[in-house]
Chains A and B, each alone.
Chain A
Amino acid sequence: MDKTELKGIIEAILFSAGDPVSLKDICYALDMDQKEILPVIKEMKDLYNFERRGLQLIEADGHYQFSTRPEHYGYIQKMHSPHRKPGLSPASLETLAIIAYKQPITRAEVDAIRGVQSDTAISTLIERKLIQEVDRLDTVGRPILYGTTIEFLKYFGIGNVEELPEILEEQITYLDENTR
C-alpha cells in the first residue's frame, strides 16, 4: 500500500468516527505497526498545518481527531450558530486547575487548598467528562482519587499529559519568582 492511500484511509477512519480514535485502533484497522503509522499521521498533521487547511488533526493522549481551527470560528458562527458549550465557572476552573496539577487527588485535598467545598464543581467536571475517578486512596473511607481525561486535554488544546505540568509549571515558577 502506498503512502497516499494510507493517508486516505486514515482520513476516512477519522472522519467517519467523529470521536477521538486511538492510534491502536487505527493500527488494528490497517493491520500495521504503530511504528509504521505514527510517522504517516505526523506527516498528515504537518501537511494540514502547512497548507492551513480548514481542518486540523489534533492529538490528545494518543488519540486523533479532526477539528476546525479556532481562527475560523467567527466565519462558522456567521453561517450557523454551532452548538458551543458554555465555558466553565470560575469555581469549576479553579477546581480543575488543582486536580490537573495535583492528580491523583481526593476531594478533601482540593477542598483544603481552595478553602471551600468543591463537590458541586467536581460533579460538574465529571458531567462534562473533564475529570474522572482514577483510583481510590487506601485509607479510611477509601476516598476517590480524581484525575483528568482525554476530554480535558482536548478542552485546553493540550497534546498529552506530559505537556500539562510544563504549561502550568512555567506559570508557577514565574509566580514564585515574582512574589518572593
Chain B
Amino acid sequence: MSYSVKLEVFEGPFDLLFHLIEKNEVDIYDIPIAVITRQYLQYLDGLRFFDIEIASEFLVMAATLLHIKSKMLLPNPKDETMEEDEDPRQQLVERLMEYKKYKEVTGELKKREEIFLKRLFREPSAAGIDGHQEPVIPDIGLAELHRAFEEAMKKYRELYNSDYDLKKSLEKERVSVTEKIKHIIKVLKPGRPVKFDKLFEGFPTRETVVATFLALLELIKERKVLIEQESNFGDIIIRKR
C-alpha cells in the first residue's frame, strides 16, 4: 500500500494519528497498530523538523506506537499480577477519544466565532473625554509650495553662503535601532493604532525598514506594544499597551 505524504499541518501527534485513522477508515477501538505506526513514521520521515519542541512531541508518540506494537507482537507471559489482559492500545484510545471530543467542540466554536465576530461594538469612550480629532490638512496650493521652497533655499544660502550649491554627494544614512524605538514610542498614542508602513515617511531605505522592524521586535519583547496582523502579508498594526 502506497502512502503519499501530503504536507498538511497537524496540530500535534493526536491530530496526525486521527488523520491516519480516518484515512485508513479503521475502527478507532481496533486500530491496526502495525499499519498506522508505519504510516506515522513515514510521515515523520517526510518532515524536516527544525523546531525541536514540536519534533519531540511527535517522536514521543512514535515511541508510544512502537511500544504498543511490540507489546502486541510478543506473546503475553502469564503474569499473575495482571488482573486481566488489557489491550495495550486501550490507554492510547482513551486519550485519542478525549482529544477528539475537544477537536469537535473546536469546530463548533469556530462556527460561532465566524458569526459573532460580525457583531460590532462601540469602542469604550470614557464618555468622550479622550475623543481626539484628526489633524486638518491645510489648503496648500502650488504657489505656497513654491514660496516655501524659495524660503528654504534662501535660508540655506544664508547659512552656507553658497549659491544653490547643494551638496552633490549623499552621505549614507545611519540608522540606529535605539533611535527607531524612540520614534515608535513617540508616534504611538494610547488608543491610536498605527500601521507598520506608516512609520516611514517618503521612501525608506532598506536599512530604515530593517532597523524599524528590529525596534518593533524589541518593543514587543519589552511588552510595550501589541501587534496584530489579519492575514499573511497583511498590514501589521501596532498598538500601545
Contacts and interface: CB of A to CB of B under 8 A. Distances in A.
A155 B230 contact: no
A70 B125 contact: no
B108 A18 contact: no
A175 interface: yes
Given A67-B121, A73-B120, A94-B11, A156 B109 contact: yes
B154 to A, nearest CB: 44
B88 interface: no
Contacts of B83: none
Contacts of B12: 114-116
Nearest to A87: B113
Interface residues of B, number: 45
Interface string A62-96: 00011111110100100000101111101101101
Contacts of B166: none
B25 interface: no
Given A16-B125, A116-B54, A117-B57, A88 B120 contact: no
Contact of A17 (B15, B108, B117, B124): B124
B99 A115 contact: yes
A4 interface: no
A97 B118 contact: no
Given A16-B125, A86-B230, A175-B100, A68 B113 contact: no
Interface stretch (A33-41, A132-140, A165-173): A165-173
19 contacts: A15-B122, A17-B124, A18-B125, A68-B121, A70-B118, A73-B118, A73-B119, A93-B110, A94-B11, A96-B109, A97-B102, A101-B102, A101-B105, A113-B95, A115-B57, A117-B57, A157-B112, A172-B101, A172-B104
Given A115-B57, A171-B104, A172-B105, 9 more contacts: A17-B124, A70-B116, A71-B118, A82-B120, A84-B117, A84-B230, A86-B229, A93-B110, A117-B53
Q: Which 8 A-B pairs have the closest CB atoms?
A: A116-B12, A73-B118, A70-B118, A18-B124, A157-B116, A67-B119, A18-B122, A19-B124
